[in-house]
Amino acid sequence: MTRTRPIGILILAGACLMAPLAGLGCSVTPPGSRKGGIRARMVLHQREHTVPIEGEPIAVGRFLGVDVTNNAGGVFVTAHDRYEEAKVEFHVRHVLLLRKLAREENWPDDALRGPWFVAEHDHGSQTGVLRVRATDRTLPDGSRPLLDVHIYTPACDGVVIENTHGDVELVGVRGTVSVVSDGGIELRTDEPLTQDLSLRTSGSGVLVVAAPTSSGTFLITAPEGRATFTSKFGTAERVTSEQGRWIGVWNGGANTVTLQAAHGHARYMVKDRPELYTPSFH
């Protein structure tokens, strides 16, 4: 016959064993209840890398333009109605190396935390602009780390970006778009691109993945690479195609579309679901 021990005796025995360990300073935290768990650390990390937005909250249904200047890193803008309101975050590049340097140089604990950027919602009666600018903060050695800006918003109705030392990625945006960069530029959106579009880089390539409802009068140039327009939708007229240059009018659009890549390819592709296209960089 199998012998059993009363549950109460086992619990009492366990408590008697754990009490001396607690007295010696040993952890007796039950499994599954770790202090400062992964989720808590993720929340803390996100909070430390969030840029507060001055002004009214940017919620669904408001017209919003995005205006960003970042002279030491990339800019990434994602517009989707799954976001209830806009938020701005920054990511420090080479953070492990910087943390090592901070320990070696005995920097303050908050040396990498910023504030590296300021964000302001400049809103009118019907329109609003989210402006993001870098602060003049530096590291204790006088340098500024490379910092990428990430913006998540319910909608984006226009973009103006100037940046150096990083790529630019735009997803789900619409309206007038102007980007000047020395990195790669990529735009993917299911929204129709029917207003002026200017993407210029002095560095690597430019890629636009647009919906069939878009249009434009095109000037695509890539002196050291390929300048291409590809679409199985709509009608392209007055086309001139040569090495490093493509000119034409698509879907009768009067809006100007200028893509310029100094040291890479400049490509405009028309897809059924552009936002599902696999990005070429991050």
Assigned domain for 114 exists: yes
pLDDT of 17 reads: 42
Residues 250 and 171 in one domain: yes
What pLDDT score was predicted for residue 143?
92
Domain check: are 210 and 133 in the same one? no
H or E element that contains 97:
helix 95-105
Both 201 and 237 in one domain: the answer is yes
Q: Both 172 and 139 in a single domain?
A: no
Q: Has residue 161 been placed in a domain?
A: no
Q: Is 250 left (phi over 0), alpha (psi -120 to 50) or beta?
A: beta
Residue 236: give the domain boundaries.
167-275
How high is the mean pLDDT in each 10-residue block of the chain (282 residues)?
Answer: 44 44 45 53 59 86 90 96 93 92 90 90 82 94 95 96 97 97 97 98 95 97 96 94 96 97 96 86 49
Residues 122 and 90 in one domain: yes
Residues 72 and 115 grouped into a single domain: yes
Q: Which helix (H) or strand (E) holds 218?
A: strand 216-221
The tally of domains found in the chain comes to 2
Question: Is 62 inside a domain boundary?
Answer: yes
> Which of these three, 112, 137, 156, is where a domain ends?
156
6 assigned to some structural domain: no
Chosen domain end from 115, 137, 156:
156
Q: Is the domain of 195 the same as that of 241?
A: yes
pTM of the model: 0.82
173 and 211 Cβ atoms separated by less than 8 Å: no
Looking at the structure, tell me whether residues 66 and 87 fall in a common domain: yes
| Boundary of a domain, candidates 134, 156, 178 | 156
Same domain for 179 and 203, yes or no, is yes
Same domain, 218 and 261: yes
The verdict on 135 and 177 lying in the same domain is: no
Instruction: Write down the pLDDT at residue 125.
Output: 57
Cα separation, 46 vs 91, whole angstroms: 10
What pLDDT is attached to residue 46?
56
Q: Answer whether residue 259 is part of any domain.
A: yes
Structure-token pair, residue 36? 């400062």
151 and 241 part of one domain: no
